[in-house]
Amino acid sequence: MKIYKYPNNDTWKTLSERPVIKQNTLDEIVSGILYEVKSSKDKAIKNLTKRFDGITIENLKVSRSEIENAESLVCTDLKNAITVAKSNIETFHLTQNTNEAISETMEGIQCWRKNIGIEKVGLYIPGGSAPLFSTVLMLGIPAIIAECKEIVLCSPPDKNGKINPAILYAANLIGISKIFKVGGAQAIAAMAYGTETIPQVYKIFGPGNQFVTKAKELVQQSGIAIDMPAGPSEVLIIADNTGNPEFIAADLLSQAEHGADSQVILISDNEDIINQTSKALEKQLSELPRKEIATKALENSRSILLENLESCFEFSNTYAPEHLILASDNGEQFISSITNAGSVFIGNYSCESAGDYASGTNHTLPTNGFAKNYSGVSVDSFVKKITFQKLTAKGISNIGPAIEIMAEAEELYAHKNAVTLRLKSLQNV
């Protein structure tokens, strides 16, 4: 990680840039994949899987027997851990499932909203070198709480043409059975347009690499909703003199190992913390199984020394990190300084890994600065809110004259007439 000392505010925007693939190349590749799937459906999925992954897939849908067999392939300790995570995630997300009160805006006028689960949703679960079975819980549990009627799950198969058993186990545990062996941009296309085997959905969820993210952005233009532009993972750590360099280094590496296009940022007003963390990074990196991936991610990462903590939080809000860690014994006192972040971890013992797996909050979060205008996934992400209203005779009498005046001012006389007819009918009662 390159160290920047007291960079001028004018350079903050540049220092906040994420690593990206050239957009022209990315757009061209992903657009081609989307078109191929939309045109040739299952045939395209199989061809693309063979082309990109070197795997021949005959049956795209995971069979019931494959799901049942997965249970025997997952060790007891992992099953128990998944159960703990499931319980905490359910507990936290159930608090979001609330009914809104009826509001009487004026005598005789009642207005309210009702949450309705989106009927068909698609969940993308990254696989490859790091199959994210935890994401099954993070997306599947709020979808089930929201009472979505159809949940479709897509995940890339391994070299043997199988989905990781932990992914299948987690899906089965929470009640998801429509699972398909397809990954990358082609999975997004399949859920967006539908194929002979894979159902079309109304909204697509899930993190992924830049190809997956670009595919989600492009299908959104076709009217398919997405959760957010969730791309490569990132973390920003603000550390003061009470931060623990060993912990900080471990947290940086926990994000760096996600992928070569991940990014980690350390900001501090204490040069010793930065220097000690750099040493801890070197030591821990040398012992990391995914050292090569983490090393590439660190090439796109940086440590930044600023004058004071106020500046640290100003930079963080400019960067708008997916994950923000406050490596400090006094982290809670800075909560009011945070305006842009996907999820915040307060204190030296609040490692980001807790949120990734089992504390209860959702780990599907906005990246690439989108924390400025997006929230992380929640039960709300899986529902649409329909407004209702009921006007009595008294209600239309109370509000009618105001509506007539406003409609006439906008020269929308049919609008006015809809009210006038009702008011006249009441005069004859």
CA-atom Rg of the chain in angstroms: 25
Task: Name the β-bridge partners of 279.
Answer: none
Q: Environment class of residue 384 by beta-carbon count within 10 Å: exposed (0-12), middle (13-18) or buried (19+)?
A: middle
246: tokens are 């060993």
Tabulate helix, strand, coil % of the chain (nearest 5). 50, 15, 35
Q: Which residue has the tokens 């504390």?
A: 359
Query: Which amino acid, 378?
Result: S
Q: How far apart are CA 176 and CA 170, in angstroms?
A: 9
> What letter would DSSP give residue 198?
S
Q: What whole-number distance in Å separates Cα of residue 168 and Cα of residue 184?
A: 18
- Quote the distance between the C-alpha of residue 189 and its chain's center: 18
> What token pair was written down for 401?
């004259």
Residue 363 known to be catalytic: no
- CA 145 to chain CA mean position, Å: 17
What string of DSSP letters covers 154-185? EE---TTS---HHHHHHHHHHT--EEEE--HH
User: Which member of 36, 257, 322, 404 is catalytic?
Assistant: 322
Strand order in the sheet with 234-239: 2-5, 302-305, 263-268, 234-239, 323-327, 343-346
- The answer to whether 37 and 189 have CB atoms below 8 angstroms apart is yes
Cα 39 from Cα 62, distance rounded (Å): 23
Buried b vs exposed e over 229-242: b needs ≥16 C-beta within 10 Å?
A: bbbbbbbbbbbbee
Residue 93 catalytic?
no
Indicate which residue of 258, 323, 352, 363 is catalytic: 323
Residues classed as catalytic: 322-323
